[in-house]
């Protein structure tokens, strides 16, 4: 799509008031052309066929067929970027799993400022979604990756002060990408710390979802959490996540609500701290996402001796963060998404000598 091309948008929501509010707010942006509005999933499917929109905004709670089931029907037939607008965290995460590119939380409109902030966020995510690469099928771990994930060295009893640290950062498309990377890491894997751009409440729901699927234990970060074997820590939405160290080993600091580079949590904040605290005793992974968050921090990690990996263009939903990191020399190896989990295993089994 040319950089100044209009983004043809279809709005799907069963509330007349909300449809009109979206139409009024979104049409003020010169990049967005609203080509239609749909009142339910069946209406939406017909209008997608007729109008061929570039992006769809989708409510989840609708009559006849909810947004999740609609996405499951839509994506195999008409894969296109969908931004979910939902009031419930669990619905938004279900929608991302079903193929949506991103989500925005429906606000409680108490002032014109609330509405303006919501519209600004939604406009930004519509523009990002318009650049997204939508896979025809959701990623699944390859047989080769699953085989590679089995022979992790048994690190039981390894002190946390000498155990490697795995740091992962992602944004748009990252919820499913992170799952692909960590789902087959064995319970003997050293501690993993992750920042995924996501608002408060959603990060806890996401951590719970990963915990049900993964072999490792997954938690949302709380201040002072120890980084331990078999444990994945997800940065809490609205707080910055940093790695720290004391005589007992590594732990995290989850504090500070100031946005860095527009994000809280920010990948750069995590990666900067990993570079300073863990140095060459770390591996950094940067996954799909718009913009450049994490690229400078990953470069610091590489300069400190860490091993760094970036997701390749073909497997990214949005090849932004990994692209910037690669261009500035922060990435030592680019890999397809379904090979990154195996690369983590090789790094751990080699004792950090695979560079």
Which residues have a catalytic role annotated? Answer: 171, 197, 293
Answer whether 234's CB lies under 8 Å from 206's CB.
yes
CA distance 152 to 60: 41
Which bin fits 9, alpha (ψ -120 to 50), beta or left (φ > 0)? beta
Closest by CA to 192, choosing from 352, 353, 351, 341, is 341
Answer whether 311's CB lies under 8 Å from 340's CB.
yes
Read off φ and ψ for residue 55, nearest 5 degrees: -140, 150
CA distance 178 to 96: 12
**Pairing of the two strands 249-255 and 240-246:** antiparallel
Cα→Cα distances 11→21, 44, 60, 93, 116, Å: 11, 8, 12, 20, 18
The DSSP code sequence of 288-322 is SBSS-TTHHHHHHHHHTT-EEEEE-GGG-SSBSHH
CA distance 69 to 56: 15
Answer whether 103's CB lies under 8 Å from 130's CB.
no
CA distance 241 to 168: 12
Cα→Cα distances 1→4, 45, 80, Å: 8, 23, 14
């Amino acid at each position: 799509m040319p950089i100044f091309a209009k983004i043809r948008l279809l709005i799907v929501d069963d509330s007349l008031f909300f449809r009109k509010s979206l139409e009024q707010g979104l049409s003020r942006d010169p990049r967005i052309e609203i080509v239609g509005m749909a009142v339910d999933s069946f209406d939406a499917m017909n209008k997608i066929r007729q109008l061929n929109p570039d992006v769809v905004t989708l409510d989840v709670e609708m009559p006849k067929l909810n947004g999740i089931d609609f996405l499951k029907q839509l994506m195999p037939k008409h894969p296109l970027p969908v931004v979910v607008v939902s009031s419930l965290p669990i619905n938004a995460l279900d929608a991302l799993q079903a193929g949506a590119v991103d989500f925005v939380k429906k606000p409680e409109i108490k002032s014109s400022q609330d509405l303006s902030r919501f519209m600004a966020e939604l406009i930004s995510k519509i523009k990002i979604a318009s650049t997204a690469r939508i896979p025809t099928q959701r990623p699944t771990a390859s047989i080769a990756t699953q085989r590679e994930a089995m022979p992790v060295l048994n690190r039981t009893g390894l002190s946390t002060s000498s155990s490697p640290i795995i740091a992962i950062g992602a944004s748009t498309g990252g919820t499913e990408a992170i799952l692909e990377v960590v789902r087959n890491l064995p319970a003997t894997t050293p501690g993993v710390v992750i920042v995924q751009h996501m608002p408060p409440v959603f990060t806890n729901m996401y951590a719970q979802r990963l915990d049900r699927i993964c072999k490792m234990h997954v938690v949302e970060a709380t201040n002072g959490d120890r980084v331990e074997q078999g444990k994945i820590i997800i940065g809490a939405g609205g707080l910055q996540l940093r790695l720290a160290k004391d005589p007992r080993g590594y732990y995290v600091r989850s504090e500070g609500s100031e946005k860095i580079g527009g994000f809280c949590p920010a990948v750069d904040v995590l990666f900067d701290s990993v570079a300073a605290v863990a140095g060459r005793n770390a591996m950094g992974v940067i996954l799909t996402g718009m913009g450049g968050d994490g690229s400078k921090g990953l470069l610091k990690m590489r300069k400190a001796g860490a091993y760094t990996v970036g997701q390749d263009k073909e497997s990214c939903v949005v090849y932004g963060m990994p692209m910037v990191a690669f261009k500035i020399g922060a990435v030592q190896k680019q890999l397809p998404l379904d090979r990154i989990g195996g690369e983590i295993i090789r790094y751990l089994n080699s004792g950090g000598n695979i560079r």
